[in-house]
Structure 1
Amino acid sequence: MAHNGMDIRQPEHTVALAERALTLADGRAGPGLLSLFVICRARALGHAGRGAEAASELRRAQDLALRSEGEELPFWAGMSGSPRWAVASHTAKTLRSLRDHTNAEKQYAAAARGYGKPSEGKPRITALSLAWQGQEQAAQGHLEQACGTWDKALALFDGVYSDRAAKQVAGIRRQLTTFERRGVDAATQLNERARAWQLAHA
């Protein structure tokens, strides 16, 4: 519920929800599973503008995730792959909410590399991570670089039918239209590719 509140931009109760969940999990979960509860609290704190507390929890979640090698997770927790990459992805979201686009980009890149490993088998989540990474590059004014990253995301989205993928591609197209007006050559061809994706996945 805490993650969902942040995803739909209604974060009013997310700190309380995340803290309650963490309280219930503490002492009952291994380091990998616990890292998912800690990173949720970190993200909620970031959305609440409590940057110093969020940074402390980010470090704790990362340390826990690094200790999770070989841990067997419940089915629902393992759906997002390794805790290490899930923590990287949510770390990026936390940093984005704190407007630290440089480090958010690095964390999305780490998540994409991790999810892209053959052992993970998460092409959709890899594509989403790349799409978000491109957003962070664009936020820093690295427009050509963002186009290159989105090109990789589109290739992985091919054949993926999901609402989240459709929303990401639509968002990419909105930014590409702006890039075209600024004279970014790579944006025009990529925008056409994204349009073709939308037509094929409608």
Structure 2
Amino acid sequence: MPSPDAAPKRRRPAERVTEITAAAATIGLTEGLERVTLRRVAEHIAVRPGLIHHYFPEADSLVAEAFLHATKTEQETLFTRPDAAGPREQLQLFFTEALSPESLQYSRLWLNARNLSRFNDALKRAVTERETSNRELLGSILREGNALGHFTCDDDEQAALLTMILLDALSSYANGGAEELEARVVATVIGTVERELGLEAHTLLPDHF
């Protein structure tokens, strides 16, 4: 890794912002959002802290962008849709990804962000923005499934909200590790969603549970 004292490679502003936010997101996921500081990010990409300050004069905004960058990657994973997948298949994939061992890092990030957002207005806005976006994406799946007769919920927006609330409840186990997600707890959450959507039991339950 080059020394921070060396002249940083010149990049276009948009490229530099992307580099900084990607580094901050990595630090947020692996070390915690508390560790997303101008100095720590500068160290991570081997530049002087002043360069980070040039693009992010306020540390709070860097933390918020780190959260948005990381959860954008999570969102793309949760809502990626294979060409042949209908809404029910996509919902099954959604739960498989959301409850996978790999998702624990994101669950921890959400817990961390919600706690810190009490003191960081930029982060609070970022959390609300991503919550709303995820809920809208899930609602669109449920709306399509309702139209096709795959689901029979009375209110797809309410069902999407319920689903996200229940997943948030599961994330409270994230700091204990995957073993804390007891099969009966997961089955209770999934069963509640299945009943809300008029699905048979275990339709949405991932195989590893």
TM over 0.5: no
TM-score range, shorter chain: 0.3 to 0.5
Q: Rg larger in 1 or in 2?
A: 2
Higher relative contact order (CA 8 A, sep 6+): 2
